[in-house]
Amino acid sequence: MLRKAGKVVKDKELTETLAEILTTRGIGLINEAQKKLQESRKGLTRLIESQVDKGVKCLKEAKDLGSKRGAENYERAKGLVEQAKSGLFGLDPEIAGLINQAQKAAEGSRWDEAIRLMKKARDKAPEAGREALDKMLAQFYNARGVQMLNTATEKLNDMAQSRQKMIGTLVDLFLEGKSVPGFGTKPKKKKWKAVMVVAGIVLLVIVMLAGGEEGQKALGQLILLALIMIGVPIVQALKSTLNPFSSNPGSGLPRCRLCRESASYRFDLPGKGEVSLCSTHSDELRKIIEFEPRPDDLTARLIVASFKDFGQASTLDPQAEVFDKNRRSASEIIDRFHLWQNNDNAAKYWT
C-alpha cells in the first residue's frame, strides 16, 4: 500500500516511512535465513537462497529511497547471495574473521600465513561450508607453489648462463690436452717413447761400465736407438702430409686430435670448427658438453616444495586443471635433476 501511495503522492515522510519498513523487513529476512541455514541439515536450499535475495532487494530499495540505515545494511548484504551459493553464508563470526584475515594475507602474497589461517577456518567450518573453503585453500596452495617455482626457475636460468661459460673453459682445456677434473684424463700418450728412453739409459750405463767389444756393441745399439727416436716423428710427419685422413694404414679415417688413434667422430664446435676425435675422447667431450650441474640445496627445496603445493591444490580442487598442469611442470624439473625422494642424494629435500 505504501509503495502505491508513494507513486501517487510525493511525500517526504511517507517515503522515509516506506524506506524504514523496507530496511527492517530486509534485515529480518536475512537474519531469518541465516538462522534457517544454521539449523538446516541439507545446507543451502532454494527457499533460504530466495529469502536472502528478497532481503537484499528490500535493502536496495530502501537505499534508493534515501535511507541511510538501508544503504549501510545493503552494502553489507549485497554479497550474501553469492556467499550463500558458495556455501559461506551464515558461517560463525569467528570463522568469517579467519577467512577475512586469510584473504588479506593473500592480497599481500603472504601465502604461509594465508594458508595457515584458511586451514584453521576450514577445520572450524561445518561440513556444508568446507567445499567452498577447500577451493579457496587450493588457490592459496597453487599461488605459493607458483611463487616458489618462479624463484627456483630464475636461479636455474642464472645457473645455465654460468654453465655455458664454464663448459667453454673446460672444452678449451680438453682440446689443449690438459687434464679436466671429473671428465676423463689427459690424452693418451704413446708408451713407446717412454720405453725407448728407458732402454737408452740402460745402454748408456752399459757403455760407461763395460769396455771392449761389449761396450762397442752397446754403443752401436744406443746410436741405433737414437736414430729410431729421431726417425719415427719424421716418418709420422711425412705420413700426415701425404695422407691426413689416416691414422692406421688402410683405415681411411682421420686421426684423433688428441691421441693419433682412428677418429670415428667429428664435432663442429662453435669458434673451433670441426674437431675429429676417437671413441674414448669423444665420450669424454660429450660428458663435458652435456654436463649440467645440480641446483643448490635452497633451489632444490623450492622445486620439491612447489611440487607438493600443486599436489595439495589438485587434491582440494580436482576440477581445476591448472593445478595439475603446474604439478607436471614441477615434476619435469624434478626428473631433469634427479630430485625424487628415492634418490639418496635428494631424499633430504622431501623432509
What pLDDT was estimated at residue 52?
84
pLDDT in tens, 178-230: 767 666 545 454 555 555 555 555 555 555 555 556 655 655 665 665 656 55
More confident residue, 4 or 92: 92
What is the pTM for the complete model shown? 0.56
Q: Considering all CA atoms of the chain, what is the largest pairwise distance in Å, rounded to the nearest integer?
A: 151
318 and 255 both lie in a single domain: no
* 289 CB-near residues (< 8 Å, 6+ apart): 167, 171
Q: Is position 110 within any domain? A: no
Number of structural domains the chain divides into: 3
Nearest to 232 by CA among 260, 177, 192: 192
pLDDT at 328 over 90: yes
Domain shared by 284 and 217, yes or no = yes
Of the chain, the percentage scoring pLDDT greater than 90 comes to 26
pLDDT over 60 (residue 278): yes
Compute the distance between CA of residue 187 and CA of residue 256 in angstroms, rounded to an integer. 10
Residue 269 and residue 302 in one domain: no
- Residue 188 shares a structural domain with residue 286: yes
The answer to whether residue 233 sits within a structural domain is: yes
The predicted-structure confidence for 283-310, as pLDDT tens digits, reads as follows: 888 888 887 778 999 999 999 999 999 9
Burial of 133 (0-12, 13-18, 19+ CB in 10 A): buried
Q: Is residue 135 part of a domain?
A: yes
Q: Are residues 285 and 299 in the same domain?
A: no
Q: Which domain holds residue 55?
A: 2-86
Does residue 304 or residue 103 have the better pLDDT?
304
